[in-house]
Amino acid sequence: MERSKTVRKGTAYWILGVFAIIWAVITLYPFIVTIFSSLKTNDEILGSMLNLPRDPVWHNYYVAITGAKTLHTIMNSIFLAVCSTAGVLLFGSMLAYVISRKKHKYNKIIFTIFLTGIVLPIYATLVPMMKMISKIDILQPNAFYTLILIYIAICLPEGLFIMAGYMRGISRELDEAAIIDGCNTPQLFFRILLPISKPALATSAIITFLACYNEMIFALLFITDKAKYTVSIGLLYFVGKKTTDMGPMFAAIILTTLPMLVFYMLFQEKIQSGLTAGAVKG
């Protein structure tokens, strides 16, 4: 036993170890270069990205915040993501409850409708959606609620399947006992079922929050008002321009990734398992 273990450590262990370190460098080094560049003057960046910043130019961050309104875009994106997540959790869990715990004839149809929602490419909706928004007066472009409603619709299927899958596993006797005790449906749902389903709610919340914070295409289509720019549109503004001030651009990249990085460090395990579950279900 001991010997075979050392043999295995001998070759594959070291080769894989070296590969792991190389991949870690490949993953981290670009971010390190970006951090360095965010603290450099333009001349320094054009000189060589490899060098350390000579004298940290914190002014770049000031320009990114005041000029490109980066903090503002971050707040907008967080607001959109929080509202959409709340919507997906509420509507998704309600749907999940009926689909997973009740026996209605229409359940199967509803399930199929949402299943197609996961498979279909949302890009096919771009043109009709644009037309619809320009035609229907209550759906204003440049209004966050329009985007929030769209985001909820897009993220609903994935959240629904995660929550329905979880609720299916909860014993049905619980419902019967609650009904005998005189609970009506909302009481049963909000007081008993939702608290038990917390793990599934957390997973759906994480997936939805990340997707909405990072969303680009619908924001790009419907938001033209600069005060309402999201993170993605704010950054797209820089793309492809060999601008005179690259420092602030790198600063903006760092600033916009920071909230997600903190979020990731706080809920690492949950985010990793949640996104994997989401991808596999999808």
Partner 1 sequence: MVVGSKKQNWWDLAFIIPGLFLFVVFLIIPLSQSIYQSFFSWNGIAISKMKFVGLKNFQMVFTNEYFWHSLVNVLLFMAGGFIVLMPISFLLAIIINKKYKLKRFFKTTFFMPVVLPLTAVGLMWVYLLFPEIGLVPILMEWFHLPEINFLGDPDWAIISVILVNEWTFAGLNMLIFSAGIVAIPEELFESAKIDGATGWQQTRYITFSMMKEYFKIFSILCITGCIKHFNLVFIMTGGGPNRASEMPATMLYNEAFVYKNFGVGNAIGVFLLIAGVTLSLLTNKLFSRGDD
- From CA 159, how far away is CA 254, in angstroms rounded? 29
Judged by CB under 8 A, the chain residues 81 through 110 that form the site for partner 1 are 87, 91-92, 94-95, 97-98, 102, 104, 106, 110
CA 269 to chain centre: 15
Q: Which of 165, 170, 192, 196 binds partner 1 (CB under 8 A)?
A: 165
- From CA 230, how far away is CA 149, in angstroms rounded? 16
Q: Minimum distance between the CB of residue 129 and partner 1, rounded to whole angstroms?
A: 5
Judged by CB under 8 A, the chain residues 55 through 84 that form the site for partner 1 are none
Element containing residue 19 per DSSP (H, E): helix 14-37
Residue span binding partner 1 (CB under 8 A) among the ranges 44-52, 54-62, 194-202: 44-52
Q: What are the helix and strand counts (H, E) for the chain?
A: 16, 0
- From CA 158, how far away is CA 164, in angstroms rounded? 10
Q: Minimum distance between the CB of residue 38 and partner 1, rounded to whole angstroms?
A: 10
Burial class (CB in 10 A: 0-12, 13-18, 19+), 76: buried
Residues 153 and 88: beta-carbon distance below 8 Å: no
As given in the structure block, the two tokens for residue 123 are: 């890009």
Judged by CB under 8 A, the chain residues 140 through 159 that form the site for partner 1 are 149-150, 152-154, 156-157
Judged by CB under 8 A, the chain residues 242 through 281 that form the site for partner 1 are 242, 246, 249-250, 253, 256-257, 260-261, 263-264, 268, 271-273, 275-276, 279-280
CA atoms 203, 74, 241, 50: torsion sign: negative
As given in the structure block, the two tokens for residue 12 are: 């594959």
Q: Which of 75, 121, 204, 205 binds partner 1 (CB under 8 A)?
A: 121
Q: Which of 56, 179, 191, 225 binds partner 1 (CB under 8 A)?
A: 179
Q: Minimum distance between the CB of residue 34 and partner 1, rounded to whole angstroms?
A: 5
Q: Minimum distance between the CB of residue 66 and partner 1, rounded to whole angstroms?
A: 19
Rule CB under 8 A: is residue 16 a binding residue for partner 1? Answer: yes
Q: Which of 105, 195, 240, 266 binds partner 1 (CB under 8 A)?
A: 240
CA dihedral 192, 197, 202, 208 (to 10 degrees): -100
Q: Minimum distance between the CB of residue 194 and partner 1, rounded to whole angstroms?
A: 12
Q: How many residues bind partner 1 (CB under 8 A)?
A: 105
- From CA 154, how far away is CA 125, in angstroms rounded? 11
Residue span binding partner 1 (CB under 8 A) among the ranges 54-62, 181-189, 194-202: 181-189
Q: Which of 6, 105, 119, 266 binds partner 1 (CB under 8 A)?
A: 119
Residues 116 and 110: beta-carbon distance below 8 Å: no
- From CA 139, how far away is CA 143, in angstroms rounded? 8
Closer residue to partner 1, CB minimum distance, 41 or 257: 257
- From CA 280, how far away is CA 276, in angstroms rounded? 6
Residues 200 and 180: beta-carbon distance below 8 Å: no
Judged by CB under 8 A, the chain residues 197 through 236 that form the site for partner 1 are 210, 213-214, 216-217, 221, 231-232, 235-236
Q: Minimum distance between the CB of residue 229 and partner 1, rounded to whole angstroms?
A: 12
Q: Minimum distance between the CB of residue 227 and partner 1, rounded to whole angstroms?
A: 19
